[in-house]
A and B are shown apart, each in its own frame.
Chain A
Amino acid sequence: MKGRLAVGVVALGVAAAVPLVAGQHLLTAFIVALHAAYMALAWNVAAGYAGQFSLGHSLFYGIGAYASTMLYLKLGLTPWVGMFAGAALAGVVGVLLALGVYRYNVRGIFFALVTLGAAEVAKGLADNWHWIKGPVGILLTMKAAPAEFFFLRREPYYYVALAMVVAMVAISLVLERSRLGQHFLAVREDEAAAEASGVDTHRAKTVAIGLSAALTAFAGSFYAQFYLYVSPETVLTFEPQLTMMLGTMVGGAGTALGPVLGSVLFSGLGEALRNLPFENTRQVVIGSKLVYAILLIVILIYLPGGLITLGRRRA
């Protein structure tokens, strides 16, 4: 336990020192990796711990991005606060979605499809909603306003992203050691046996989706502040969902560090592939997707528990 704590402190120290040595480009890559790790951890709460394999988490990501952005533009509310409002809204939407879905006992693959559909519906709505600028999207202006979550340099974004990941890992660890977290695991493993052990499975699943949705929304708000652009095409597509799943499945679902490991690996890989001697961008995209796919297949076949199980086997 003490050894693990020491490793954690050292890793954190190294991570905190990154901006001192990394250039702006490399720093951006690190921010993207941390952002992916946070999203993966947030999805992992529902999918990894509670076994609720949602494919619609882009919906909650999008809610976070749009909520903090709209609150800022229309009411002047700083995104530092707006992101909490977005999380609350996403949490409510998640709970309502869960109540509806579980009311009709939709499970497994059907649950995944219904959530996927919900995200698609949200994208359709956003595309046609003029108040939030439809498919054109919303552009934020670059400026130096730390109180409003705008920075000109990369470093502050890096530290915010790092803090979010650290907080999310802490939340995951606390969850693992809580009654609620144990109930999540029981639901994931076998709902009938969970019920027979006194677990209110309906409630546990609803809480898992609501909590995971709220946490995911913070990532959406961060995205908006970092890229300064929110549109259905960027935050409500399958892309964010894919990022969450890749990192989690590759690193290790249902663990607090697996999703971080998987996300950093995949983001790093994407960065490395960008430097391959391809002739044009299109080839880079196709080439990197090929490598992603092959790596994903190999990992899922040989390490179904994710990369995290490598260390566990040796220990």
Chain B
Amino acid sequence: MSALLAVRGVSKRFGGLQALSNVTFGVDHREIVGIIGPNGAGKTTLFNVITGVYAPDLGRVELRGMDVTGWAPHRICRLGAARTFQIGKPFAALSVLQTVRIGALNRIDSMAGATARALEVLELVGLAGKRDDLGRHLTVIERKRLELARALATGPALLLLDEVAAGLRPNEIQEMIALVRRIAAGGVSVLIIEHVLEAVMRLSARRGVPGRGLHACLKSRASRWRTATCACSTT
């Protein structure tokens, strides 16, 4: 069985800055993988390459066995990889329900069906009570939950979480960790980028640090998802 996500030898340069160089790693079905690293290590760039925001200069991205390098983001979302944004991008003038419903319309054609799905997801992330609030009126954690809900509603096989714990208070981080666990328990693989080490440590089976390329892997920890074998290559 091929990996759900395979990143092979991806490099990306912005002018004089080599953001990613020869990054290779994969995410399997029903796996949580964490990527940690300081600011500027290329974590978000990696996400942007995987989700089609940027095409890599070199290398390939494969999702569910298909070469998706250079695909537009919406096609990658349709194929089953949904991401959240580090800086929450709520649809400012739309309600929470509308926002999540737009995500749900990715897989469901009817408005009624998408609304029902959106309500389920809102229940899961604990935003059901805020369904009629506008995006711009949400607090930081609510925005992060909304981001998660919007991405989850698209029905992904792989969820890419960009710093879902950053900026949250300790008790909120605990809630967020529990939430990601619940989502993963539903059969969704998770690739998580995180500043907050605790979140990654507690969540992921495997962790990589992009640095100059994903060049260091922390010790892998036996987990209930799978015994990790570190697949992060060095430059």
Residue numbers of A with Cβ under 8 A of B are 177-179, 182-183, 185-186, 188-190, 192-202, 254
Residue numbers of B with Cβ under 8 A of A are 51-53, 72-75, 77-78, 82-83, 85, 89, 91-94, 98, 101-103, 105-107, 109, 111, 114, 135, 150-151, 153-154
CB neighbours (8 Å) of B135 from chain A are: 189
Closest to A51 in B: B93
Known: A178-B111, A195-B72, A201-B74. A186 touches B85 (CB 8 A): no
Closest to B84 in A: A196
Q: Show 29 A/B contacts (Cβ-Cβ < 8 Å), sorted by A.
A: A177-B111, A178-B111, A182-B98, A182-B102, A182-B105, A183-B102, A185-B94, A186-B94, A189-B91, A189-B94, A190-B89, A190-B92, A192-B53, A193-B91, A193-B150, A194-B102, A195-B53, A195-B77, A196-B73, A197-B102, A197-B103, A197-B106, A197-B150, A197-B151, A198-B78, A198-B82, A200-B74, A200-B75, A201-B74
> Distance (Å) between the CB of A192 and the closest chain B CB?
7
| New contact pairs (11) apart from A178-B111, A192-B89, A197-B77, CB-CB < 8 Å | A186-B91, A186-B102, A189-B91, A190-B89, A192-B53, A194-B102, A196-B74, A197-B74, A197-B153, A198-B106, A200-B72
Residue among A183, A185, A189, A202 with most chain B CB within 10 A: A189
**Which listed residue, A190, A198, A200, touches B103 by the CB 8 Å rule?**
A198
Closest to B93 in A: A189
Alpha-carbon gap, A195 to B52, bound state (A): 10
CB neighbours (8 Å) of A196 from chain B are: 51, 73-74, 77, 82-83, 85, 150-151
Closest to A193 in B: B89
**Which listed residue, B78, B111, B151, touches A179 by the CB 8 Å rule?**
B111
Closest to A254 in B: B93
Alpha-carbon gap, A8 to B112, bound state (A): 24
> Distance (Å) between the CB of B90 and the closest chain A CB?
8
> Distance (Å) between the CB of B119 and the closest chain A CB?
15
Known: A196-B77, A196-B151, A200-B72. A189 touches B92 (CB 8 A): yes
CB neighbours (8 Å) of A200 from chain B are: 72, 74-75
> Distance (Å) between the CB of B77 and the closest chain A CB?
4
**Which listed residue, A178, A188, A195, touches B74 by the CB 8 Å rule?**
A195
CB neighbours (8 Å) of A179 from chain B are: 105, 109, 111, 114
Alpha-carbon gap, A183 to B150, bound state (A): 14
Alpha-carbon gap, A185 to B111, bound state (A): 14
> Distance (Å) between the CB of A200 and the closest chain B CB?
5
Closest to B156 in A: A198
CB neighbours (8 Å) of A182 from chain B are: 98, 101-102, 105, 111
Alpha-carbon gap, A185 to B72, bound state (A): 19
Closest to B78 in A: A198
CB neighbours (8 Å) of A195 from chain B are: 52-53, 72-74, 77
Alpha-carbon gap, A179 to B101, bound state (A): 10
Alpha-carbon gap, A199 to B52, bound state (A): 13
Alpha-carbon gap, A292 to B135, bound state (A): 33
CB neighbours (8 Å) of B53 from chain A are: 192, 195
CB neighbours (8 Å) of B93 from chain A are: 188-189, 254
Closest to B91 in A: A189
Taking a contact as CB atoms under 8 Å apart, the answer to whether B82 and A199 are in contact is no
CB neighbours (8 Å) of A202 from chain B are: 72
Residue among A183, A190, A195, A197 with most chain B CB within 10 A: A197
Taking a contact as CB atoms under 8 Å apart, the answer to whether A197 and B154 are in contact is yes
CB neighbours (8 Å) of B150 from chain A are: 193, 196-197
CB neighbours (8 Å) of A186 from chain B are: 91, 94, 102
CB neighbours (8 Å) of B109 from chain A are: 179
